Copies of this chain bind each other. A is one copy, B any other.
Amino acid sequence: MSRGVLTRSGPAALEIEDVQREIDRMLAERGARATAYGAHFARLWAAAAECITGGKLLRPRLLIGTFEGAADGDGGPAADRGAVLRVAAAVELLHYAFLLHDDVIDRDLLRRGRPNLIGTVLRDRDAAAFEGASAGGTPPDPADLHWASTSGILMGDLLLAAVHQVFARERLPEPMRLRLLDLLDHAITESVAGEHLDVALSHGVAPSELASVLDMSRLKTATYTFELPLRAGAVLAGASAETEEAIARLGRHLGVAFQLQDDLLSTFGRAEEHGKDPYSDLREGKETAIIAYARLTEAWPEIARGFGSPTLTAAQGARMRDRLIDCGAHRFLRSLIEEEIGACAELLAAPGAGIPPALAAYIGRLIESIEERRL
């Protein structure tokens, strides 16, 4: 997404580069303090900073865009620029804390083709073993892997603590600070509940029903990716409780639409566009809404044969993709996305919705971005 879509221009505009600088500053400060605890601990912070660099900063962009749109409303006084940048940076660090613990739980060494923190720590120990393991070859030495995943658990804890420190320390009017803390608490509860459900589904502890899979996807990703930054932007802009509630509803619909679009793209999109392994979701047996729908159709027995098979070939993957289209799973996902987008449009058009015009225009551009898969 181009920067202009999400932030206004002008001398006082909040720039995403400033959020990046704020993230860099937080990591550098904590990294510098870590040197007091020896070379290994300092290296852990440095490795985390390497892995965190280069993200799309979607969540801070959403927070800033909403803040700027909502600041034109008729609410109370807005927070100052510095507080907005720091909270936006913290929301990005929360994303990394979640990714890190997810990667420990999923035993992943890579994220979007690059070594994640666990992969980086493993590579530091034994570069050849990392290369072999990340290419799906020989498993690494269990002691090295344990050291690497321990590092992932501990760095996730440190980032989670750092996020809370930002929310807790901002010099904001007390009601605003407490509302932000409520949002953070809610987002963490939902994300953790979603991850718990995801693992329950993958182990068959919870049955893979369509409703559960949709719940999981909303809880695990949509809440902290959309509802949290949108609501936090509105609260920081001094929006009224009604506007915040309207934004929260919009955020939930947008978040689910975004997540379903991401599932569609991973399974049916062209690899050169989204940059992921084209059949990784199918190979890993990821329980998406696509799969939950397909389970209800007659095509399932054939799809099930290759689903979750680590040795799935490109030809088998392509055939499975065709079956998922034939059985209606692709069409079904499109209709779910249209429903979510339709609900947003309805909320925006409702009289007295409490959405200031600049914010409504911003949400409209977000909807387009999701529809055109540009987020």
Contact = CB atoms under 8 A, between A and B. Distances in A.
Contact of A196 (B150, B171, B189): B150
Given A193-B37, A196-B40, A160 B158 contact: no
B105 A219 contact: no
Interface string A307-323: 00000000000000000
A140 B353 CA distance: 54
A200 interface: yes
A128 interface: no
A12 interface: no
A154 to B, nearest CB: 5
A1 B168 CA distance: 35
Copies of this protein in the assembly total: 2
Contacts of A167: 168
Contacts of A37: 189-190, 193, 196-197, 219
A168 B179 CA distance: 12
A200 B165 CA distance: 27
A177 B105 CA distance: 35
Interface residues of A, number: 52
Nearest to A198: B150
Given A160-B161, A161-B188, A168-B167, A38 B206 contact: yes
A178 interface: yes
B150 A197 contact: no
Contacts of A195: 150, 154
B41 A157 contact: no
A40 B200 contact: yes
A365 interface: no
A199 B161 CA distance: 21
Contacts of A205: 40, 125, 147
Contacts of A190: 37
Contacts of A164: 161, 164-165, 168
Contacts of A125: 205
Interface in A119-153: 125, 143-144, 146-147, 150-151, 153
Contacts of A143: 203
A125 B37 CA distance: 40
A156 interface: yes
Interface in A14-51: 33-34, 37-38, 40-41, 44
A322 to B, nearest CB: 31
Contacts of A151: 196
Contacts of A193: 34, 37-38, 41
Nearest to A187: B161
Contacts of A197: 37-38, 40-41
A181 interface: yes
A178 B169 CA distance: 7
B40 A154 contact: no
A168 B188 CA distance: 15
A164 B160 CA distance: 10
A163 to B, nearest CB: 9
A83 interface: no
21 contacts: A38-B197, A38-B212, A40-B200, A41-B196, A44-B196, A101-B153, A101-B157, A143-B203, A146-B199, A146-B203, A150-B196, A150-B199, A157-B188, A158-B188, A164-B164, A164-B168, A165-B181, A165-B185, A167-B168, A169-B181, A171-B174
Nearest to A124: B205
Contact of A154 (B192, B203, B206): B192
